[in-house]
Amino acid sequence: MRVLFWRGIRDTIDSRWVESLVARLDVASGSFSASIDLAEEMARAAIAVEQALDVLLPPVEGAEGRLAEAMRYAALGGGKRMRAFLVLESAALFGVNETCAARVAASVEMMHAYSLVHDDLPAMDDDDLRRGKPSTHRAFDEATAILAGDALQCRAFEILGEHDTHSDPMARCELVVALGAAAGARGMAGGQMIDMLAEGQVLDGPAVTRLQALKTGRLIQYSAESGAILGRVASQQRHLLTAYGRDLGAAFQNADDLLDVEGDAAEIGKTAGKDAAAGKATMVSVLGLELARSHADMLARQAAAHLDGFGDRAANLRALAAFVVARRR
């Protein structure tokens, strides 16, 4: 029973959410085993970022209170918080103050939440459900969802500029610039643009790799890199974290595509080809199931290898790389 580790959690955090998160991470772990209990480590990070988000999101008050309500709905109490975990673990490598790291983790989860809110809109992927509950535009309305995404992105950048995020303003500026590059027209937003344009198109391997690198990879990469920025370390160490994040992001996305196919296989007796038939370009449609699986495993090993020089301190980050390709959901 994992009940002891969340003693001292703020009352604002629903303990049922923590229990369900640990249960979900346990299921996801499946037969995955490591020398550390990764599900518990990730739950711990999720709680830290939940507390930070609660403090850093605007309060629900005033005539504009509905906007804060929608921002909180979109950003609180959901997801595995992998990006937050990456920020906290990479920052811990360099002995960064945990409160500072939690602010950056909250900022990146706000960016991630904004992208999900906008991606779910009727004009985009038109999804009614997100993380097991109605998507933001279904729970509120489209206008509120657009504004909530806008305000989440705005707050994510604002947090990075604030003094409490790091005593050195140069570190804060580097975080702003790195997040801007990761999330903008040649990062996450650009990737979503390609994804919208690619519907029904046949993409080759390099095109799929680039789409995924922009759409999901760059923000995951930034999450790992941000710990090195906070740690004010030499560029060589920063490059190692960046390389880890880049390969981890690619492994994560490939594993996601495999889960879609293999989940279907177990459920309805179909194998690869469904995504391809639906016009969705993935590495499975490009490489086939077998090769895509070994490609994902190779990426995960490659990600972990970048961290060899950090020794045991990087055990959690290495375990995460193994986890993203072994997980069951």
Total residues contacting its own copies (rule CB under 8 A)? 61
Of these, 27, 55, 197, 291, which contacts its own copies (CB under 8 A)? 197
Nearer of residues 53 and 300 to its own copies, judged by Cβ: 53
Minimum distance of its own copies from residue 308's CB (angstroms)? 32
The least distance separating its own copies from the CB of residue 83, rounded to whole angstroms, comes to 16
Give the x-and-dash track for 124-163 against its own copies (CB under 8 A): x----------------xxxx-xx-xxx-xxx-xxxxxxx
183 binds its own copies (CB under 8 A): yes
Output the 3-class SS for the chain.
Answer: CCCHHHCCCCCCCCHHHHHHHHHHHHHHHCCCCCCCCHHHHHHHHHHHHHHHHHHHCCCCCCCCHHHHHHHHHHHCCCCCCHHHHHHHHHHHHCCCCHHHHHHHHHHHHHHHHHHHHHHCCCCCCCCCEECCEECHHHHCCHHHHHHHHHHHHHHHHHHHHCHHHCCCHHHHHHHHHHHHHHHCCCCHHHHHHHHHHHCCCCCCHHHHHHHHHHHHHHHHHHHHHHHHHHHCCCHHHHHHHHHHHHHHHHHHHHHHHHHHHHHHHHHHCCCCCHHHHCCCCCHHHHHCHHHHHHHHHHHHHHHHHCCHHHHHHHHHHHHHHHHHHHCCC
User: Which of residues 2, 17, 100, 180 is near its own copies by CB under 8 A?
Assistant: 180
Closest distance of CB 61 from its own copies, Å:
9
CA dist., res. 198 & res. 95, Å (int): 43
Question: CB 110 → its own copies: shortest distance, Å?
Answer: 11
Contact pick of 9, 34, 100, 181 for its own copies (by CB under 8 A): 181
Question: Which member of 43, 52, 194, 326 binds its own copies (CB under 8 A)?
Answer: 194
Q: Quick one: 229 or 255, whose CB is closer to its own copies?
A: 229
Q: Report the site for its own copies in 57-116 (rule: CB under 8 A).
A: 58, 62-64, 66-68, 71, 114
Q: Which stretch binds its own copies (CB under 8 A): 35-43, 171-179, 231-239, 267-275?
A: 171-179
Give me the least distance between CB of 140 and its own copies, in Å please: 10
Q: Which amino acid is at 22?
A: V
Contacts with its own copies in 292-321 (CB under 8 A)? none
Asked if 27 is part of the footprint of its own copies (rule: CB under 8 A), the reply reads no
What is the distance between the terminal CA atoms of the chain, rounded to a whole angstrom?
Answer: 22
Binding to its own copies by residue 189, rule CB under 8 A?
yes
**Considering the complex, what minimum distance in angstroms separates the CB of residue 189 from its own copies?**
4
CA distance 63 to 93: 44
CB of 288 to its own copies, least distance (A): 23
Q: Which residues are CB-neighbours of 313 under 8 A, at least 6 positions away?
A: 92, 93
Instruction: Supply the minimum distance, in Å, between the C-beta of residue 101 and its own copies.
Output: 18
Give the residues lining the site for its own copies (CB under 8 A). 58, 62-64, 66-68, 71, 114, 118, 121, 123-124, 141-144, 146-147, 149-151, 153-155, 157-163, 168-170, 172-177, 179-181, 183-186, 189-194, 196-198, 207, 210-211, 214
